[in-house]
Amino acid sequence: MNIETELKLQAHLDGELTPAETRDMESLLARDTGARELLAELTMVKTCLPVNEPEVKVPETREFYWSKIHREIGRTAKPEPIRTRWWQALHSRLVWSTGGIAGIALAALFLFDGRGLSTYSQPEEVSNLNEEMNSISFRSEAHQMSVVYLFDRDSGASEAAEVPVDSLVQ
Amino acid sequence: MPAVHDYPTKPDEGLVKLAQKGDMLAFEELVARHRDKIYARAMSMMRNEEEALDLSQEAWVKGWQRLVQFHGDSSFVTWMTRIVINLCLDQIRKNKRHRAESIEVMDEESGGVERQMPVVTVNPTEGLERAELRARIDRALGQLSQAHRTVMVLHEFEDLEYKEIAKRMECSIGTVMSRLFYARRKMAALLAGLKRDDTK
């Protein structure tokens, strides 16, 4: 027998031949002693191995064997991604975008009061036209207030008055 | 209050369902129940205790990670066995890259010594106690080449068809058939040789 025939003999044993090939092989087996002997040898190995697989036990205790598996599972576990439904994501976007706009608007309201960027101005001195009087004045834009301190140059009498900013406009 | 389960008395299906919901204790029971079988499969393919331990444990970790993909088409232990087999095949490929395989390839191409051996006509397994027969089969398997042993394990112990073995071993069906043929012939000769040694 050539190797091709021998391999077909094995395939016949393993049920891997087509019906036509099976008929040919059965015909060969009927007339060839060598083929029958080879088939018997292959059959002996095929039948005795599956039911006599060597029994092997894990050479570690249950706890020790498991501990390594458990540790590796813990090490390789990834936190589950937080899944949001589509409407939750949309709602979240709307809230943040609206809030953001509102926040910016509110900040702008504080920063811009219609007159410019400054919220405080330094107090400034106003010149006094009365030669007998001296005065010192202070103006605060933030507080919308001016304070004028008047005093007699000779007598030292003084009077202070809070004057609204508008009245000092020249 | 979490439910209390009597894990040792639960069948595999019940434990798998619990484990799929994240019950680690249920999975640990599955490991305890089937660890020998999974380790034995790794050992039969690798013939190295350390590698077999590492690969079997890696298989369990992968089993946990992929548990949601198990739908009960086969038994749980069959599913786990497939995982460890694939890991062993990957490792065998890695190991092969580190050593010359030309001798083995040449041996297969020439037909091998096994082809020249006379046919074993007397059944060498007759009359043997089961434990002794298993020990002889184990010894004989250890004397096969990696390639021959792998195809033997996949066909005889895992009952895979030629096409499936070829796919997993990434070779042709013809190569599977050759390797299986030579492996069987060598096994027969080894078992007969062991029996001859006994009678001396």
Q: How far is B30 from chain A (nearest CA, A)?
A: 11
Structure tokens at B190: 């080894």
Least confident of A127-136, A140-149, A157-166: A157-166
Q: How far is A9 from chain B (nearest CA, A)?
A: 10
Q: Does B49 touch chain A (CB under 8 A)?
A: yes
pLDDT above 60: residue B1: no
Whole-number Å distance between alpha carbons of A59 and B52: 11
Q: How many CA atoms lie within 13 A of A71 on its CB side?
A: 7
Task: List C-alpha distances in Å: A153 to A100, A124, A134, A135, A147.
Answer: 58, 21, 6, 9, 19
Q: Does B44 touch chain A (CB under 8 A)?
A: yes
Q: Does B121 touch chain A (CB under 8 A)?
A: yes
Q: How confident is the model at residue B96 (pLDDT cuts 50, 70, 90)?
A: confident
Q: Does B59 touch chain A (CB under 8 A)?
A: no
List B residues 101-120 in contact with A (Cβ-Cβ < 8 A).
Answer: 111, 115, 119-120
Whole-number Å distance between alpha carbons of A78 and A153: 84
Helix, coil or strand: residue A137: strand
Whole-number Å distance between alpha carbons of B190 and B195: 9
Whole-number Å distance between alpha carbons of A78 and A93: 27
Interchain contact, A59 vs B49, CB within 8 Å: yes
Q: What is the pLDDT of residue A120?
A: 46
Q: Does A112 touch chain B (CB under 8 A)?
A: no
Structure tokens at B98: 């580190």
DSSP 8-class letter at B122 = S
Helices (H), chain B: 12-20, 24-46, 49-65, 76-97, 102-110, 130-142, 146-152, 162-169, 173-199
pLDDT above 60: residue B198: no
pLDDT above 70: residue A6: yes
The number of beta carbons lying within 10 Å of the beta carbon of residue A41 is: 22
Q: What is the pLDDT of residue A137?
A: 72
For a pLDDT cut of 90, what percent of chain B falls above it? Answer: 68
Q: What is the pLDDT of residue B87?
A: 97
Question: What is the mean pLDDT of the segment spanning B93-103?
Answer: 69
Q: Which residue has the tokens 């292959």?
A: A42
- How confident is the model over B5-48, as pLDDT tens digits? 799 999 999 999 999 999 999 999 999 999 999 999 999 999 99
Q: How confident is the model at residue B97 (pLDDT cuts 50, 70, 90)?
A: confident
Interchain contact, B119 vs A57, CB within 8 Å: no
pLDDT above 90: residue A90: no
For a pLDDT cut of 90, what percent of chain A falls above it? Answer: 39
One-letter amino acid of B71: H
DSSP 8-class letter at B126 = T
Q: How confident is the model at residue B56 (pLDDT cuts 50, 70, 90)?
A: very high
Mean pLDDT for all residues in chain A: 74
**CB neighbour list of residue A147: distance below 8 Å, 6 or more residues apart:** A137, A138, A139, A160, A161, A162, A163
Q: How confident is the model at residue A163 (pLDDT cuts 50, 70, 90)?
A: very low
**CB neighbour list of residue A60: distance below 8 Å, 6 or more residues apart:** B53
Q: What is the pLDDT of residue A117?
A: 45
Whole-number Å distance between alpha carbons of B185 and B192: 11
- How confident is the model over A12-55, as pLDDT tens digits? 999 999 999 999 999 999 999 999 999 999 999 999 999 888 88
Chain B residues within an 8 Å CB radius of A57: 36, 39-40
One-letter amino acid of A44: M
Counting Cβ atoms within 10 Å, is residue B173 exposed (0-12), middle (13-18) or buried (19+)?
Answer: middle
Q: What is the pLDDT of residue A118?
A: 47
Chain A residues within an 8 Å CB radius of B49: 59
Q: Does B65 touch chain A (CB under 8 A)?
A: yes
The number of beta carbons lying within 10 Å of the beta carbon of residue B9 is: 8
Helix, coil or strand: residue A159: strand
- How confident is the model over B104-157, as pLDDT tens digits? 554 554 445 555 677 877 777 777 788 888 888 999 999 999 999 999 999 999
pLDDT above 80: residue A105: no
Interchain contact, B121 vs A41, CB within 8 Å: yes
Question: Are B190 and B162 within 8 A, CB to CB?
Answer: no
